[in-house]
Structure 1
C-alpha cells in the first residue's frame, strides 16, 4: 500500500482544503510510492497564518532552548539512516551511499544551526555623541518562504529551513513534487519530534500542475519577509522576479555548468577517480556535478583511456542495491531529456567514448563524450544527468577561458600537485566555489555555499546563513540628555 501524507500546518497533519491528493511516483519502478495532499492557495494562506502566529514566541525563545532542539534533531536524523535510505531509493532513486551521505550532512547542518543560535551576533559601534552607545543588532525577519528540491532531498530539505529557523524566523516550506516526503515532511517530522513548537515549521505539498500558483501565492503574502530557493536557474529567475516584485530579499542557489580541470602535473589515476565521482555521484543530479572535464593535452590519451574504462565499469540500475553507482534519474522523462542532449551532440559531430544509447526507463547509461561542438545544446546546457564532456587544453589560460565560458558560476575543481599553481588558476575562475586538488562536488555546513552569475546569489552556511535570514538594526543608547537647537 502506498504511503499517505497530509499537509503540516500549525503542528497538525491536515488534508488540503479541497481534499485533493497527488501521486508520488518511484522513478525506478514507475509505481506509486505515496500519495500526498495537493494544496491550493487557501492552504498556503493557512500555513502562513500558522507561521505568523508562531513567530513572536519562537523569536523570543531562549537561544539555549532553540539550540537544544537542533541538536536533538541531528541525533534523531542520524538514527533514521536506514529508513531514509529506503525512502530516498523509492521516492527519488537515490543510491544507498548517497542517502547515507544526505543523512550525515543534513544532521551536521542542524548541528551547525545549533552553534549559530548561540554565536555572537551584532557589533558595538562608535557613537558621534559623547556618552552614547551604538549597537548593530541582528534580528529575525518573520516568516520565510522556503523551496526545497528533490535531488539531494535530505540535505537541501534541512538547508531550506535550518538557517532561517536558527535566526529566529518561522518557515513555510514547499517541497519538490518529486520528493515531497524526503525534502519536506521528513525534515518536519524530525524537528517536530525534537520539540519544535507548533507552527514554527509548516509544510505545503502540491500537485505539479499547481506549483507555479503555490509559489506565487506564498511569496506574495505580505507576512512572508524573505525567500529561500534552491533549484534550476530557469525556475530561480521566476522565483527571484516574484521576490523582487514584492521587495523581499531572496537567497537563490541555482544551476551550474561546472568544470574539473586536470593540469599537466596531475596524478592521472587520482584525477580519474576524482572526475568519476564528480560526474556520476547521484547520477549527475547535483548542482555541483562536473559537466566539463578539461584535461591537459599531454595527459589526454592516458586519462581518456582510464576514464572510459572506469566509467564503463560502474554498476547501474536498482538504487537499493548496495553497489549501484548510477541509479535512475528522478523521472523517465528526465532520462529522455538527457538522451536527447547526447543524441543532439552526436548528430552535430561529438564522439561517444563510453555509454550513450537509449535509457531503460529512468536509468540513463553513464556517458562520456568528446568533440562536442559549441552549437550542440549540451555544450552550454546543464546536463543534470550521468553525462560529461571531455575537452583538452594546451595551457592554463585556455583552461580558464573554457571553464568560464558559461552563464553559470557555481563551482570548479582543479587537479594539480602544485598548490601554488592551483591557487593561481583558481583565482581566475569565476565561480562562488573552487576546490584545488579536488573535484567540484563538496559541501560543508559551516562554509559559505553559493554561486556567481546565473548560479544565483546569497550564501548558506555558518554565519552567512544567519546573515541571509536576519536584518541588521541600529540601536542607540544615550547615557546623558542631549541638547537640541530649539
Structure 2
C-alpha cells in the first residue's frame, strides 16, 4: 500500500480537511493507495499556485524550458519499476503495458522539449500601405489536465507536456482510480526541478469530482482544458467548458474497426488484430473493437486468430507475467458478460474465452456478429471482441463507417494502393495500413473526426 500527497505550489500537501480516500486493487480489494480527498478550496489553491507561477514560467527562455523537460523525461524513465508496481496494484495492468506507457511518455516529454524552439508566428498581409501585421503565439495561462486510468502515464503526460513546453503552467487532476500512478508523473517533474507552482497535482474522491472540476474550469485563471476519458463524462466536460467559455481538447470513446481485405497477409493481420484487441485487456481508446473480414478468407483468418487469442496468458500481474491482467472493475465484467449473452442469444458463435466471474477476463472472440447485436455498436472496453463477415471491399467500408465513433481504424491488404483508397474513405482520424489500431508515438499526431 502507498500513501501519496498532492503538490500545490512548492508544498507536498494533504487535503485541508485531512480527509482521504482509498483505491483498492480490482482483483482482491486490498488497499492499493491512500490519497488526499481534495476540497474545492484545495483545488482553488492549486489553480492559484499555477496562476502565480505563470508570469515567470511564460517568460523563461525556450532552452531553459527544454532542459527542464529533458530532465523530467529521464526521471520518468527511471521510475519504470515503480510505475509497474503502482499500475498493477491500482488498475491490474501488466508489466508490459506499464513499460510501454513509461517509455512512450518519456518520449513525449522529449518531443515536447524539442517543441520549445519551434513555436512560431506569421506575417499577415495588410491593406494599409506601410503596415505590417504579425501573428504571435503566446502562452495562454493555466491549463487544467484530466487523464484517465487506462493508459495513465501516456495520457497524464500528454495532458501537460505540450502546455508546459509552450510556456503554460498546469494543474493535473489525478484519476480516482490510479492516484499513485499519476502521482509518480508529478514526482518526475518535481525531481526535474521545475519552479514552484509550474506543475500542481490534486486528487479527490469520486463523489467530489463534479464539484471540484466545475470549480477549476470556472476559475478565471484556467484558460484551457484537456480531458481524456469516457464519452459520457466528456459530454459533461464539454458542457462546462461551453458554460464558462473555455477552449478544450477532448479525446473520448472509440469503436475502432479492423478491416481484413481478401488479399491480406493473414499472419500479419492476426498478430495485429490480437495486439490491438487484447493489449491491456482491450481497455484502450484505440483498441480493435470490430474485426471486419472478407468472407473469402474469413474461415482461415478466424481459425488463426482464435488460436492466437486462446494462447494469450491471463494472470494477476503482481504474481506472474501476463498479456492480459485484470480489468479495472466488476462493472466492466458485467458489461462484457452482458454483451456476450446478447450476442449469443442473437446467433453469434463463441470462439474462445467467455463470461467471467472475476476481473481476470480471458481473451474472448465472437464470430458472425451482426448489426442486431449490442457488441456491433457498443464499445466493450474489455477483452471481448466481435468478428463481422462481409462480402467485398465496399461492404467492409460501409461496415467500418456504421458507428458514431471516429477515433482509430486499420486496414490490411497486400495492395497498398487499394489499402490507401480504403483508408481515405474510412471515417476515422487515424487509419493504420497493415498495422494495429493501437499505435502511438511521442510526437503529437493524434486526431479524430467523429
Q: Sort the TM-score into its range (normalised by shorter chain).
A: over 0.9
Aligned to 1:170: 169
Note the C-alpha offset of 1:267.
1.1
The reply on whether 1:363 has 2:360 as its aligned counterpart is yes
Q: Hey, what's the Cα distance between the residues in 2 that align with 1:414 and 1:239?
A: 33
Note the C-alpha offset of 1:269.
1.2
Q: Hey, what's the Cα distance between the residues in 2 that align with 1:49 and 1:400?
A: 50
The reply on whether 1:425 has 2:422 as its aligned counterpart is yes
Aligned to 2:78: 79
Aligned to 1:333: 331
Note the C-alpha offset of 1:236.
0.6
Q: 1:447 to 1:60 in 2, by over 3 A?
A: closer
Note the C-alpha offset of 1:63.
1.0
In 2, are the aligned partners of 1:229 and 1:253 still within 8 Å (CA)? yes
Q: Hey, what's the Cα distance between the residues in 2 that align with 1:322 and 1:396?
A: 42
After superposition, the CA RMSD in angstroms is 1.3
Q: Hey, what's the Cα distance between the residues in 1 that align with 2:431 and 2:123?
A: 34
Give the 5 Å matches for 1:105-120. 105-120=104-119
Aligned to 2:138: 139
**SS at structure 1 position matched to 2:403:** coil
In 1, are the aligned partners of 2:292 and 2:396 still within 8 Å (CA)? yes
Q: Give CA-to-partner distance per residue, 1:91-127, whole Å, 9 cap, x none.
A: 2211111111111100010001001111141112333
Q: Give CA-to-partner distance per residue, 1:269-301, whole Å, 9 cap, x none.
A: 111111000100000000000010011111111
Count of residues in Structure 1 that have an aligned counterpart in Structure 2: 450
Give the 5 Å matches for 1:349-428. 349-359=347-357, 361-428=358-425
Unaligned runs of 5+ in 2: none
Q: Hey, what's the Cα distance between the residues in 1 that align with 2:140 and 2:320?
A: 44
Q: Give CA-to-partner distance per residue, 1:440-485, whole Å, 9 cap, x none.
A: 11111224202121xxxxxxxxxxxxxxxxxxxxxxxxxxxxxxxx
Aligned to 1:259: 257
In 2, are the aligned partners of 1:433 and 1:451 still within 8 Å (CA)? yes
Q: What TM-score do you get using the length of structure 1 for normalisation?
A: 0.90
The reply on whether 1:204 has 2:208 as its aligned counterpart is no
Note the C-alpha offset of 1:354.
0.8
In 2, are the aligned partners of 1:415 and 1:439 still within 8 Å (CA)? no
Q: Hey, what's the Cα distance between the residues in 1 that align with 2:355 and 2:57?
A: 54
Note the C-alpha offset of 1:376.
2.9
Q: Hey, what's the Cα distance between the residues in 2 that align with 1:350 and 1:69?
A: 54
Q: What TM-score do you get using the length of structure 2 for normalisation?
A: 0.97
In 2, are the aligned partners of 1:48 and 1:224 still within 8 Å (CA)? yes
**SS at structure 2 position matched to 1:319:** coil
In 1, are the aligned partners of 2:51 and 2:141 still within 8 Å (CA)? yes
In 2, are the aligned partners of 1:97 and 1:322 still within 8 Å (CA)? no
Q: Hey, what's the Cα distance between the residues in 1 that align with 2:32 and 2:319?
A: 18
**SS at structure 2 position matched to 1:240:** helix
Aligned to 1:61: 60
Q: Hey, what's the Cα distance between the residues in 2 that align with 1:67 and 1:309?
A: 47
In 1, are the aligned partners of 2:2 and 2:180 still within 8 Å (CA)? no
